[in-house]
Structure formats: C-alpha cells, structure tokens
C-alpha cells in the first residue's frame, strides 16, 4: 500500500481538506481516503501540486488522427467537412492505424483514462480493444434523406456489433442535424433507449447550420452540391437547428450535445430541461470557425469537455481545452476539473469506474499545478 499526500486533493467533485491522504494499492486501486493523522508520518509520500482523478475526453475522432495538421485552420465548417471527406482515405489503412495508435498513446501520456470516441467504421476497434484507455464508441450514422433510414441503420448495427465483439462499449449516434434525418434519429433513439445507452450529436457547430434548418440559403448547399446529393426536397422551417430536432430527443437516452458554438440562450435553456449534457471543444471551434461558444448562455454545472480530432486540433489534451475555458469564462478551477473528471465520466456512463477518487475505484491519478488560473500537467501518478 502507498499513502499519498498532495498540496491539494481534488476528488472529482471538490477539493478535500488539506490534510487528506489517499491510500492506494500497487494496482492503483483506491483503498481509502483518510485524514493525515491516521497514517504514520514516515509512510506518507508527499506530492507537490494538485492530485486529481484521471481525465475524461468526452469527444474525439480517433479515426481522423492521420489528418493531423493537414487541414487549414479557420476555413469554416463546410469547407472543413469537405476537406475531411476528400482526404480521409488518402493514406492506406496501415498508416491510418499507426496514427490512431500514436494518438491513443498521446492521450494516455496526458493523463486521459476514458474517451468518448466517434467512429464511422470498425477500423479503430482493434486499437481500442487493446488500449490502456477506456473507450465508449459512438457509432455515427449519416443520412439526411429519410429513404436512407433502413440502410443506414442496418449498416450502423453491423459496425456496432463489431465493436461489441471486441468488448468495446458502443452505442448509435446521429452525426449532426444537417446530415441525419429525424426518422433515422428516432430509430437510433429507440434502439439506444432499449439498450440503456447514451448518445451524442454535433450541435450548432456553425451559424450556417441554424440558417439551413430554417430552410434558408446557406453554406450547406455548397456541401451537398459538391457531394452530388440533391436536397431540393428538404424544406425545414425550424426556428433553429436545436429546435428542429429537439422533439426527436428521447427522454430515456442521455444526449451529449457537442460544440454548441452557435447555440442561443433560449436553445441552451430548452436543452437544460431535457436529458442532455453540453460538451465543449473550444480549441476545435477556434481551429475550424475561429470562434468560441457564448458560454454565458449555458448553465455550466454538468458540462464536459472534448478535444475533437487531430484534424481540427493540434493536440488531444483536455487540460488545454479547460485552460481555454478558464481564460474565457468565469468558471472556477473546481468546475474546470469536474468537467474533465466526474462530469465526463457521467456523460459516458463510466462513472462507476472513473472520474472520482473514491475507495474501490481505479480512476488513474494525475498530478497537476495551478498558476494564474491556468492548469499545467505534471505527470501521471498511476
Ligand atoms: Zn466531432
């Protein structure tokens, strides 16, 4: 057994009393959290800085790791999406797999223990199965035309089965409101509800998305015409993208709303009354749209954080993401740390294993430091 005492202990929810000692076994399992006076002084290992649970990256795309630094910054979501579609198959599969392995190892080295990862194919399954990280995979389905519902759903189930066979936790998720029909959303939600599973959607990542779902001319016409997909039949009349699909959110499926860059206060309030949780990826928003969400529109009590992919971020490091939030909002260090520990674990429904320093848990332990309202990673303790 080892007895750890740091300058500060963050247990996933709050900072504990300064004289707290964490008792762990040789596997990193938390045996107890006790007051300092209950432990013989010479047995205590002293740590400079803050000790906290391993981090959760609630939104990533491991499959796009080989696109690192290949897509120009600040070109807007439609141009970004077209660049991803046009370049993602440029490298052969073995090189794509190598890039995924590097990204997985980089996340581990930055103290990440659990990841919510979007996948369109089965390619990442073998890496996730042998990774030191816990992955929940959101199998992402696309199909704006309702006639594609059955085909897209069946294909999605096949990918889902492949992940489940590899013992990787997985569920179905619509890509985005501008790319997935509400019929397909309903079918996925019904399936996820029956499986007791969480889902995810890219929400209001650009202003054009709100305009498109009002039925007005937007940059999405360029996306669909470039892809030779006719959309003249599509006549939405929603007030906003979120209000377009909100009636199709299933109350029994916890829904992760990712990005929320162009979400109004009205929509954020509406979402807060539903079974949803906000996930922010500020570095990706700056990379693609050169903007940040209006954080003052949100109740920042249960939000979590993701890195998005290496196609839209220079690194997969959730501490960099919360530093962006600490610099641009009035959130506290406790709120920031909750986002990348307990809130992230709850969002991915792995809060029985991760996100908390609690006896019986093996959450991974990180040492970090705070200076000038910014957090710095020191090392993984275990
Ligand atoms: Zn994404």
Using one digit for the tens of pLDDT, what is the confidence trace for 104-116?
999 999 999 999 9
Task: Tell me: do 39 and 104 sit in the same domain.
Answer: no
Task: Tell me: do 258 and 163 sit in the same domain.
Answer: yes
Task: Tell me: do 35 and 181 sit in the same domain.
Answer: no
What is the structure's pLDDT at 203? 98
Distance 189 CA to ligand 1 centre (A): 19
Report pLDDT digits (tens) over 319-375: 999 999 999 999 999 999 999 999 999 999 999 999 999 999 999 999 999 999 999
CA-closest candidate to residue 22, choices 8, 14, 304: 8
Task: Tell me: do 83 and 227 sit in the same domain.
Answer: yes
Distance 26 CA to ligand 1 centre (A): 37
Domains: count for the chain: 2
Q: Is the CB of residue 347 less than 8 Å from the CB of residue 143?
A: no
Distance 50 CA to ligand 1 centre (A): 30
Distance 89 CA to ligand 1 centre (A): 18
Statement: residue 41 has pLDDT above 90: no
Q: Residue 181 domain-assigned?
A: yes
Tokens 């309030």 — which residue?
A: 269
Task: Tell me: do 275 and 376 sit in the same domain.
Answer: no
Q: Is the CB of residue 267 less than 8 Å from the CB of residue 213?
A: no
Task: Tell me: do 284 and 342 sit in the same domain.
Answer: yes
Q: Residue 283 domain-assigned?
A: yes
Q: Residue 366 domain-assigned?
A: no
Query: 273 Cβ partners below 8 Å, 6+ apart?
Result: none
CA distance 205 to 355: 27
35 phi and psi angles, rounded to 5 deg: -75, 145
Tokens 């019986």 — which residue?
A: 360
SS3 249: coil
The secondary structure element, H or E, covering residue 154 is: helix 149-165
Averaged pLDDT of the chain: 97
Q: Is the CB of residue 289 less than 8 Å from the CB of residue 76?
A: yes
CATH at 178: 3.20.20.140
What is the structure's pLDDT at 260? 98
Torsion of CA 353, 359, 364, 367, to 10 degrees: 140
Distance 267 CA to ligand 1 centre (A): 20
Report pLDDT digits (tens) over 120-130: 999 999 999 99
Distance 379 CA to ligand 1 centre (A): 27
Q: Residue 299 domain-assigned?
A: yes
Range of the domain at 23: 2-52+372-380
Task: Tell me: do 193 and 269 sit in the same domain.
Answer: yes
As residues whose CB is below 5 A from the ion ligand 1, the structure lists 308
Looking at beta carbons, which pairs linking 239-243 to residues 24 or more positions away fall under 8 Å? 239/214, 240/204, 240/210, 240/213, 240/214, 240/264, 240/266, 240/267, 241/177, 241/178, 241/203, 241/204, 241/209, 241/210, 241/212, 241/213, 242/177, 242/203, 242/204, 242/267, 242/270, 242/271, 243/267, 243/270
Q: Residue 272 domain-assigned?
A: yes
Q: Is the CB of residue 304 less than 8 Å from the CB of residue 274?
A: no
CA distance 241 to 350: 29
Task: Tell me: do 73 and 41 sit in the same domain.
Answer: no
Distance 284 CA to ligand 1 centre (A): 9
Q: Residue 60 domain-assigned?
A: yes
Percent of the chain's residues with pLDDT above 90: 99
75 φ/ψ sector (left φ>0, alpha ψ -120 to 50, else beta): alpha
**DSSP conformational letter for 15:** B
Task: Tell me: do 296 and 251 sit in the same domain.
Answer: yes
Q: Is the CB of residue 79 less than 8 Å from the CB of residue 220?
A: no
Task: Tell me: do 43 and 132 sit in the same domain.
Answer: no
CA distance 134 to 70: 28
Statement: residue 252 has pLDDT above 90: yes
CA distance 291 to 204: 12
Task: Tell me: do 128 and 247 sit in the same domain.
Answer: yes
Helix axes 182-195, 149-165, angle to 10 degrees: 30
Task: Tell me: do 19 and 149 sit in the same domain.
Answer: no
Number of Cβ within 10 Å of residue 311's Cβ equals 23
Q: Residue 364 domain-assigned?
A: no
Q: Residue 365 domain-assigned?
A: no
* Predicted model pTM: 0.98
CA 22 to chain centre: 28
């Amino acid at each position: 057994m080892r007895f750890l005492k740091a300058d500060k202990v963050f247990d996933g929810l709050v900072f504990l009393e300064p004289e707290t000692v964490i008792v762990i076994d040789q596997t990193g399992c938390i045996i107890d959290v006790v007051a300092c006076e209950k432990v013989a002084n010479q047995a205590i290992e002293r740590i400079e800085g803050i000790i906290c649970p391993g981090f959760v990256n609630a939104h990533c795309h491991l499959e796009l790791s080989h696109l690192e630094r290949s897509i120009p910054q600040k070109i807007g979501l439609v141009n970004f999406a077209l660049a991803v579609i046009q370049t993602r198959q440029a490298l052969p599969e073995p090189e794509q797999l190598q890039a995924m392995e590097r990204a997985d190892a980089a996340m581990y080295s930055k103290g990440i223990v659990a990841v919510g990862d979007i996948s369109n194919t089965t390619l990442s399954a073998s890496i996730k199965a042998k990774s030191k990280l816990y992955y929940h995979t959101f199998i992402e389905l696309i199909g704006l035309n309702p006639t594609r519902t059955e085909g897209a759903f069946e294909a999605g189930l096949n990918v889902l089965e492949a992940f489940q066979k590899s013992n990787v936790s997985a569920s179905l998720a619509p890509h985005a409101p501008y790319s997935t029909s509400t019929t397909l959303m309903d079918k996925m939600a019904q399936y996820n509800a029956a499986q007791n599973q969480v889902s995810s959607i890219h929400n209001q990542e650009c202003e054009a998305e709100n305009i498109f779902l009002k039925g007005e001319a937007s940059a999405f016409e360029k996306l669909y015409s470039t892809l030779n997909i006719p959309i003249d039949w599509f006549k939405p009349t929603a007030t906003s993208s979120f209000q377009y699909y909100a009636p199709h959110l299933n109350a029994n499926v916890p829904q992760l709303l990712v990005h929320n860059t162009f979400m109004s206060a009205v929509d954020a309030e509406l979402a807060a009354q539903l079974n949803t949780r906000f996930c922010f990826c500020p570095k990706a928003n700056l990379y693609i749209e050169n903007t940040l969400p209006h954080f003052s529109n949100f109740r920042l009590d249960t939000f979590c954080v993701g890195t998005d992919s290496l196609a839209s971020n220079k690194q997969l490091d959730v501490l960099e993401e919360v530093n962006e939030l600490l610099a641009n909002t009035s959130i506290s260090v406790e709120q920031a740390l909750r986002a990348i520990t307990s809130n992230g674990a709850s969002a991915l429904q792995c809060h029985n294993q991760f996100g908390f320093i609690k006896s019986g848990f093996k959450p991974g332990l990180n040492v970090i430091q705070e200076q000038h309202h910014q957090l710095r990673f020191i090392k993984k303790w275990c």
